[in-house]
Amino acid sequence: RAKELGRKRYQLFDETLARSVVDVLTLEGELRQALKHGQFEPHFQVICRLEDGAVVGYEALIRWNHPQRGLLLPGDFLKIAEDSGLIEAIDWHMFEISCQRLRRQERTDTFMTLNVSALHLRHDNFDARLIELLERTGLPPTRVVVEVTEGALLDDPERVRATLERLRAAGVGAALDDFGTGYSSLSYLHSLPLRILKIDRAFVNELDKGANTSSTTVVAAVLALARALDIDVVAEGIETEIQYAALHAMGCAMGQGYWIGRPAPLEP
């Protein structure tokens, strides 16, 4: 009996494994097709000034218009796009369309942040290629901010710093995304040429629960640190009026979140 059960379990395991390998290969093939057929598009989430709610910028977020499965979110495909190396081609495609969309807008005083996979930062020519793309699309470099995560710094922080430094010399800003969730090391913060620090929504979420939560302390500390280093702060994932008001009262200058606006196609 035990042997039988054992075999059954083993079989089940085998099937699951087989199915997932097929899934991965299928998805990889679909991602290639999606690139070829222009199924990716950026949605833009508003970044506003908390003082008066004015729109100051946008974060470009990738969406996949899948022909059968509808609109897919990064969580559905980004991991496989990264593992297969396809993310680089997908990102360059996204950067291009995002720049075109922002350029088409009447307003010229907004900025856009682009999420950059850690893989790009291992390449020597990332900054040169981005600058070339901006020249080609006619979007002023000062309107663009690249978002990197703390994870991207783990590999080779010195290389990332040099890349961001060259981008800054060309006018392109840098933001540290999801701040507080990664392997935060305060030591590299001051050496990175950052324009923006993005407080992760995990901390913002907690702000509803009163002034005595540890998140309030963390947010206050991040704001003080950013002020000392002359870096702007964007709070992510603001979902309620209470969170918005709390952040504003604490001196956070900018924010984004469902309460302000959901990611959506950019209206011309």
In the complex, the residues that contact ligand C2E under the rule CB under 6 A are 45, 61-62, 73-75, 78, 87, 91, 94, 115, 117, 147, 177-178, 201, 236-239, 256-258, 263
Minimum CB distance to ligand C2E smaller for 62 or for 266 = 62
| Nearest distance in Å: CB 167, Mg ion | 16
| Nearest distance in Å: CB 91, ligand C2E | 5
What is the total count of residues that contact Mg ion (CB under 5 A)? 5
Residue 173: contacted member of Mg ion, ligand C2E, none (CB under 5 to 8 Å, by partner type): none
Q: With 0-12 CB in 10 A as exposed, 13-18 as middle and 19+ as buried, what is 145?
A: buried
* Neighbouring residues of 170: CB distance < 8 A, sequence distance ≥ 6: 127, 131, 141
Task: Give whole-number Cα distances, 138 to 40, 96, 163, in Å.
Answer: 21, 11, 22
Q: Are 213 and 207 in contact (CB under 8 A)?
A: yes
| Nearest distance in Å: CB 24, Mg ion | 23
Question: Judged by CB under 5 A, which of 30, 127, 150, 177 binds Mg ion?
Answer: 177
Minimum CB distance to ligand C2E smaller for 21 or for 73 = 73
30 binds Mg ion per the rule CB under 5 A: no
Smallest CA-to-CA distance from 152 within 181, 182, 118, 177 is with 118
Q: Which alpha helices (H) appear in the chain, and where do they start and end? A: 2-36, 74-83, 87-104, 126-137, 151-155, 157-169, 186-189, 201-205, 214-229, 241-249
115 binds Mg ion per the rule CB under 5 A: yes
150 binds Mg ion per the rule CB under 5 A: no
- Angle, alpha carbons 183-172-251 (nearest 5°): 60
The two structure tokens encoding residue 9: 């379990």
Residue 163: contacted member of Mg ion, ligand C2E, none (CB under 5 to 8 Å, by partner type): none
Minimum CB distance to ligand C2E smaller for 12 or for 264 = 264
Torsion, Cα of 240, 63, 219, 247 (10° steps)? -40
The window from 122-130, 138-146, 150-158, 229-237 that contacts Mg ion (CB under 5 A) reads 229-237
Minimum CB distance to ligand C2E smaller for 105 or for 181 = 181
Residue 6 Ramachandran class (φ > 0 left, ψ -120 to 50 alpha, else beta): alpha
Rounded-to-integer distance, Cα 230 and Cα 71, Å = 39
Minimum CB distance to ligand C2E smaller for 10 or for 258 = 258
Minimum CB distance to Mg ion smaller for 30 or for 143 = 143
Segment 203-222, which members bind Mg ion (CB under 5 A)?
Answer: none
147 binds Mg ion per the rule CB under 5 A: yes
Minimum CB distance to Mg ion smaller for 72 or for 148 = 148
| Nearest distance in Å: CB 199, Mg ion | 9
Q: Interface residues with Mg ion (CB under 5 A)?
A: 115, 147, 177-178, 236
